Amino acid sequence: MWELNTPVPANQTTMDSDAGIFLRRELPNAAGFDGEVADIMMHCYQIPFCLNTARLGYDTPIDAFCMTPNIPRPRSRGQLYLTSKDPKVKPALDFKYFTDPEGYDAATIVAGLRAAREVAKQEPFKHWIKREVAPGPNVNTDEELSEYGRKVAHTVYHPAGTTKMGDVEKDEMAVVDSQLRIRGLKGARIADAGVFPAMTTINPMLTVLGIGERAAEMIAEEAGWRRRDRPVRAYHL
């Protein structure tokens, strides 16, 4: 978070976070299958995003700009616990942040914080900035940045993969098959972010819509509906 030397001009934002940054930190296919997919995502805010910095004692300037590095495809794995046989009782969820054995998540948040600082040094940001508020100019080493990142990290409210798709005959953790059918149940499918076998790099809403559309097609096909090919039209603007 940076304090600005002048207010953001009026009518410059529609939702306070109008831009995103996607970066690739690792070498291509470092995870064996992910090519050059971005592994850092940042939201850019034209307001002081201070939910977690304020509770740590940081200032909250009136005029501020923020970049919030995210780990879109974390390698730490959480756990979902059933706490009752009563389906009305909510389960317990432990995200287990920064617990992956290789330390990928911790290294990625540090890389994201460093990248945000580099972006802030460039125009047009540079001439707007008065000072860095958080993590602050005295937080510079990997260890210091990691400690800060762990303290301010929180969910971005897109949990996924709790009922993953897979080969239900071979993978005991797979809940649904390639047709979204639930293992052991007839006439029931799951069509939401729970079926992700791996996290998406971007916020999952578009992918969830695609899953919903495909689920509707599969259900209709079982009822006898057949897709009709339609011509593709090119529109020139």
Sign of CA dihedral 118, 119, 125, 130: negative
169 by DSSP, 3-state: which? coil
Residue 35 CA to residue 29 CA, distance in Å, equals 4
Other Cβ atoms within 10 Å of 33 Cβ, number: 8
Please say if 158 is a catalytic residue.
yes
Catalytic residue chosen out of the listed positions 43, 127, 154, 158? 158
Residue 53 and residue 67 in contact, taking contact as beta carbons nearer than 8 Å: no
The answer to whether the peptide bond before residue 124 is cis (omega within 30 degrees of 0) is yes
Residue 46 and residue 16 in contact, taking contact as beta carbons nearer than 8 Å: yes
Residue 157 CA to residue 212 CA, distance in Å, equals 19
Residue 58 and residue 35 in contact, taking contact as beta carbons nearer than 8 Å: no
Q: Angle 120-124-130 (CA atoms, 0-180°, nearest 5)?
A: 55
Catalytic (active-site) positions: 158
